[in-house]
Amino acid sequence: MRRKIIAGNWKMNLKYDEAKVLAAAICEGEGTYRHDVILCPSFLYLTALAEILKGSKVALGAQNCADREHGAFTGEVSAPMLASIGVPYVIIGHSERRIYYHESHAMLKDKIDIALAHGLKPIFCCGETKEIRLDEQQENYVERQLEDSLFHLSEDDIQRVIIAYEPVWAIGTGLTATPQQAQDMHHFIRTRIAARYGRDIAERIIIQYGGSMKPDNAAELLSQPDVDGGLIGGASLKADDFKAIIGAV
C-alpha cells in the first residue's frame, strides 16, 4: 500500500509571524493525521520552521530550486543550499514557474538532476491547461512533460520523486478535477511509468493531485485508487482546512 502525502504549497503568502503560527498549528494536530505532511513555505522561513517542526513528523519542502549548483546567479537558491539546511523536499516544475518564469522541460530536467544529486526529493508537477483539455490532448501533453524532464532517470532515482498532477485549469480557480478525471490521469501516469520502469516501480511511486483540493472534496479525491495525496495551495493557508484534508480518508 502506498502511503498518502499531503503537501501544503504556501506560495508567496504569509508574513514571518503568520508562517510560524500556522506551522505550529499544523504540528499540534499531528496525532490525528492519517497521512504524511509536508509544508512548503517561502525560502526565507525554512530555517525558522525547521525549529518549530523539530520532533514532529511534519516535513519541510522548498517551492523551487535553481537549475545550477552555485555561482553568479543573482537571486537564485540552489539545491545544495537547501540540502545544507536539511530540507528534504523541493517542488519542481509548478505551473506558476512554467508559465510566469518560462521554465522549460529541459531546465526542469536539470533541476531534477541537481536536486537528486544533493539528496533532495523532488515533487515534480505536471498538468495541462484548459485549452489542452478542451482539445482532449491532456494525456499526450502530460506524457511529454514526464518524458522530457523525468524519464531519463535511473530506476533508483525515479523512486525518489513524487509526482503531482495539477491541471492548470483547476489551480486556484475553485474548479476541481472530478474524482474520475483525477483517477483517469493518475492511472495514465502510472501506466506510463510502468511502461518505462516496470510495474513494481510504478506501483511504488506517489502521485499527488493538486488543484482546488479542499476539505469538502478531499475525501472523494483521496479515495481514488491512484490518488496518493494532495498538493494544496489555498486551503493549506488555513490551519483548520489543511488539518481537515490531512485527516480525510
Site residues for ligand PGA per CB under 6 A: 9, 166, 171-172, 210-213, 231-235
Residue with Cβ nearer ligand PGA (210 or 229) = 210
Rounded to whole angstroms, how far apart are CA atoms 94 and 97?
5
Residue with Cβ nearer ligand PGA (116 or 232) = 232
List the catalytic residue out of 35, 94, 128, 186.
94
Give min distance, CB of 91 to ligand PGA, in A: 8
Residue with Cβ nearer ligand PGA (164 or 202) = 164
Helices (H), 124-226: 130-134, 138-149, 155-158, 179-197, 199-204, 215-222
Question: Catalytic: 152?
Answer: no
Residue at grid coordinates 491547461: 129
Given a contact cutoff of 8 angstroms between Cβ atoms, the answer to whether 49 and 59 are in contact is no
Cell numbers found for residue 41: 513555505
Given a contact cutoff of 8 angstroms between Cβ atoms, the answer to whether 126 and 93 are in contact is yes
> What's the Cα-to-Cα distance from 27 to each of 22, 49, 57, 122, rounded to whole Å?
9, 11, 8, 23
Dihedral sign from CA coordinates of 77, 80, 84, 88: positive
Give min distance, CB of 18 to ligand PGA, in A: 17
Q: Which residue is nearest to ligand PGA (CB)?
A: 233
Give min distance, CB of 95 to ligand PGA, in A: 7
Question: Catalytic: 166?
Answer: yes
List the catalytic residue out of 96, 103, 166, 186.
166
Give min distance, CB of 65 to ligand PGA, in A: 16
Residue with Cβ nearer ligand PGA (202 or 227) = 227
Which positions are annotated as active-site residues? 94, 166
